[in-house]
Structure 1
Amino acid sequence: MKKELLETFESQFEQSLIDEIVAEGKLVEVPAGEILMDIGNYIRSIPLLLSGAIKVLREDDEGDELLLYYLEQGETCSMTMACCMGQTKSEIRAITETETEIVMVPVQKMEEWMAKYKGWRNYVFESYHNRLNELLHTVDSIAFKNLDQRLMEYLIKKSEVTNDNCIRNTHQEIAYDLHTSRVVISRLLKKLEKLKKLKLHRSHIQIIDL
């Protein structure tokens, strides 16, 4: 685990902090499609992402989901940190988008390292800043962009985090992430196909030029 931590966090964390993470953390390998944390659960550990990607979702009162943002290598979830510090239940759902390696750090270490390590403090503050910007981007997209634009951004981002120009989600799964209906997504995908932006296959969507 130490080798992976050094490769991911060497430029951010002090050597002594990496040693503590190795001693206190637990390395977990998670396949794609697994729920790492769910709405209503208490959070006991902070995830540090070594490889892969995680999507973070919000759910409304009717059970419909909205994709908030993705977590990628070297990142953590600031919402998780906020729940840990406030000892409150999770208000988000985190699902692995790809096969993922994570170091789970006990929550009690968070405050200790905040006082002890400048690298950890900077990492936590940067995480809050990045997640806030992504949330603002999500709000702006919903408020100011039409669904065509949101769908294209969604497909581009998913391709980036999976490092694959083939999107292997169903139209219904995409509709859930964008908080709309499958019929609307299917219609927009057909429109993009006619524009030669993508190619629809039985099992996947191939991005050509978005």
Structure 2
Amino acid sequence: MSTPTPFQAYPTLNLLSSELQDLVRRNGRQVQAPPGTVLFDLGSSCTGFLLVLAGVVEVSRPHVDGRSILLYRLEAGDTCVLTLNCLFGEVAYEARAVVRDPVLAVQLPKGVFHRLVDESPEFRHTMLALLTRRLTRVVRLLEATAFVSVQQRLAGELLARGPVVPATHQELAAAVGSVREVVSRQLATWAHAGWVATDRGRVTVLDPGALEQVLEPLGGP
């Protein structure tokens, strides 16, 4: 399967005037990043608007005690709400973005992004709508982290990504806002009960019904 162009992955770009579309083509810089690459970190400034064409980026908020919470993942066609926040508000990043699967992207300079926003009502409306929707999901995630148990968050994560979840215990801990030791103990308990099987860098859901029962107080996955 071929990698989409920016105009295929981000249909909103097709609504730009021919002049602005040419501006995107002339100024877009290709970005290739292997797994583990930090695309931005806490306190760093925003250098441009990233159009993800392939791969996966995980955006998380680390804590001084070593824990971190996964805020969201970016795949082809996704827009990073924290980048929008930085571009619109001229503020520094409040999270860390790390490449999980090899990324191919195109980055537009900050000045080009602002020109698209200023001159295209359709582009501006789309960006603001994306900002609103993603921020709503982040708020819901923070509510879940505050009021839902680690056991329930982990069960939900496995059911959402299963039956085979290619993730280390550390990555799962970041996804549910916990620490590796807690997640490892819970997975060991479930493995002993026959609900999951754990291998290096992978968890396989064997009994989804049992995990769904863990979620019953929440009304399901």
Question: What is the TM-score with the length of structure 2 in the denominator?
Answer: 0.79
2:76 is the counterpart of 1:73:
yes
Question: Are 2:12 and 2:126, in contact at CA under 8 Å, matched by a contact in 1?
Answer: no
Q: Which digits, 9 at most, give the CA deviation of each residue in 1:30-76, with x for residues without a partner?
A: 12221110111111111111122211111234453221111222111
When the two structures are aligned, how many residues end up with a matched partner?
A: 205
User: 2: CA distance between counterparts of 1:12 and 1:113?
Assistant: 9
1:6 counterpart letter in structure 2: F
Shift of 1:165: 2.5
Greater shift, 99-108 or 12-21, is seen at 12-21
CA shift in 2, pair 1:36/1:156, >3 Å: farther
User: 1: CA distance between counterparts of 2:195 and 2:86?
Assistant: 41
Question: Are 1:172 and 1:181, in contact at CA under 8 Å, matched by a contact in 2?
Answer: yes
CA shift in 2, pair 1:148/1:28, >3 Å: same
2:6 is the counterpart of 1:5:
yes
Q: Residues 60-209 of structure 1 correspond to what in structure 2 (within 5 A)?
A: 60-157=63-160, 159=161, 165-169=164-168, 171-194=169-192, 196-209=194-207
SS of 1:52's equivalent in the other structure is: strand
Cα RMSD between the aligned structures?
Answer: 2.7
Greater shift, 55-64 or 97-106, is seen at 55-64
1:153 counterpart letter in structure 2: G
User: 2: CA distance between counterparts of 1:117 and 1:38?
Assistant: 30
Question: Are 1:48 and 1:104, in contact at CA under 8 Å, matched by a contact in 2?
Answer: yes
Question: Are 2:9 and 2:77, in contact at CA under 8 Å, matched by a contact in 1?
Answer: yes
SS of 1:99's equivalent in the other structure is: strand
User: 2: CA distance between counterparts of 1:6 and 1:82?
Assistant: 23
| 2:32 aligned partner | 29
Shift of 1:173: 3.6
Greater shift, 194-203 or 89-98, is seen at 194-203
| 1:48 aligned partner | 51
SS of 1:53's equivalent in the other structure is: strand
SS of 1:42's equivalent in the other structure is: coil
CA shift in 2, pair 1:199/1:18, >3 Å: farther
1:95 counterpart letter in structure 2: V
2:138 counterpart letter in structure 1: L
User: 2: CA distance between counterparts of 1:22 and 1:197?
Assistant: 50
Question: Are 1:80 and 1:90, in contact at CA under 8 Å, matched by a contact in 2?
Answer: yes
User: 2: CA distance between counterparts of 1:98 and 1:74?
Assistant: 15
SS of 1:180's equivalent in the other structure is: coil
Shift of 1:209: 5.0
Structure 1 moving runs of 4+ over 6 Å: none
| 1:39 aligned partner | 42
CA shift in 2, pair 1:119/1:193, >3 Å: farther
Shift of 1:184: 1.5
SS of 1:189's equivalent in the other structure is: helix
Question: Are 2:61 and 2:96, in contact at CA under 8 Å, matched by a contact in 1?
Answer: yes
